[in-house]
Amino acid sequence: MTKTEHHVLGLSGGKDSTALAVYLHQKVPNMTYFFCDTGEELPETYEYLNKIKARLGIEINYLAAERGFQHWLDVYNCYLPSPQARWCTKQMKILPLERFIKDKFGDNTVYSYIGIRADEPQREGYLSKQPNIISKLPFRDDDINKEDVIRILDESGIGMPKYYEWRSRSGCYFCFYQRKYEWVKLAEQHPELFEKAKQFEQEHSDGRMYSWSDGETLDELLARKDEIIANHEKSLARHKKKKPNQALIHTIEDILNEEDDELPCLACHL
Ligand code: SF4
């Protein structure tokens, strides 16, 4: 049987994958868009996806894992996921995506477009190991950097996701990649989600205690919130001196990224 070719683009709710959708939606009109929905996303992410759909006139396939986070937490013996044990990405994003591609396209060739920019370091992550899924990196090929991404989003009328005012990445509200400042802001912006994240630290049948953030529980982290905010504001002031004309939303995103010592996974945060 003759093999056919298909094109897919995963939206994470972040700026790079969104800019890539804007960049390609006319060049690749038969693109299939998808969003891997863990069920633990920020409300701002769903709002942003609605805005993308409305502006570009596209459909998005929401791919949900068959079982939710609590189920997988039990399977993994209560160990919270971490950069070293990223079972959440595998169970809640990569496997649902591979199932979707298999069901929809079988063994046909699928080009998967990924929003890694030309100015980013080499990153590991979801570059599929399935032989029929071929990764394409148009921003790398066309030398598109962060400034270009911001411009593409501004010109499209979509703009940046709203959560960039206090958080630098898309993904689950409890993502362990977030900085301590972002946890403090989660408690302020979405106190109910912060409480849910705390419960995942605490409620284990084995009686053990786990923490999302290095070296302290969320309660301990929040008790230091004044110190964490003061440190963040010092970085902000330093950065504003270097780039006085930069919009605040971009400055915040820059400094949160500067504080990063871990590169996040491609499946979740582009
Ligand atoms: S966003 Fe973070 S917590 Fe959620 S699946 Fe991705 S790596 Fe895991």
Three-state SS string across the chain, please?
Answer: CCCCEEEEEECCCCHHHHHHHHHHCCCCCCCEEEEEECCCECHHHHHHHHHHHHHHCCCEEEEECCCCHHHHHHHCCCCCCCCCCCHHHHHHHHHHHHHHHHHHHCCCEEEEECCCCCCCCCCCCCCCCCCCEEEECHHHHCCCCHHHHHHHHHHHCCCCCHHHHCCCCCCECCCCCCCHHHHHHHHHHCHHHHHHHHHHHHCCCCCCCCCCECCECHHHHHHCHHHHHHHHHHHHHHHHHHCCCCCHHHHHHHHHHHCCCCCCCCCCCC
Q: What is this structure's pTM?
A: 0.89
Enumerate residues lining ligand 1, CB below 6 A. 38, 81, 86, 88-89, 92-93, 171-172, 175, 177, 265, 268
Q: Ligand 1 atom closest to Cα of 89? A: 5
- How far does the centroid of ligand 1 lie from the alpha carbon of residue 36, in Å? 11
Q: Whose alpha carbon is nearest atom 1 of ligand 1?
A: 171
pLDDT of the residue at 125: 47
Going residue by residue through the chain, which has 270 residues, state the pLDDT in tens, using 9 for 90 and above: 788 999 999 999 999 999 999 999 999 999 999 999 999 999 999 999 999 999 999 999 999 888 899 999 989 888 899 988 889 998 999 889 989 999 999 999 999 999 999 998 766 445 567 789 999 999 999 999 999 999 999 999 999 999 998 998 889 999 999 999 999 999 999 999 999 999 999 867 677 778 999 889 999 999 999 999 999 888 888 887 777 777 766 676 676 666 554 445 556 667
Residue closest by Cα to atom 7 of ligand 1 = 89
| Average of per-residue pLDDT values in the chain | 88
Query: pLDDT value at position 131?
Result: 86
Closest-lying ligand 1 atom to the alpha carbon of residue 269: 1
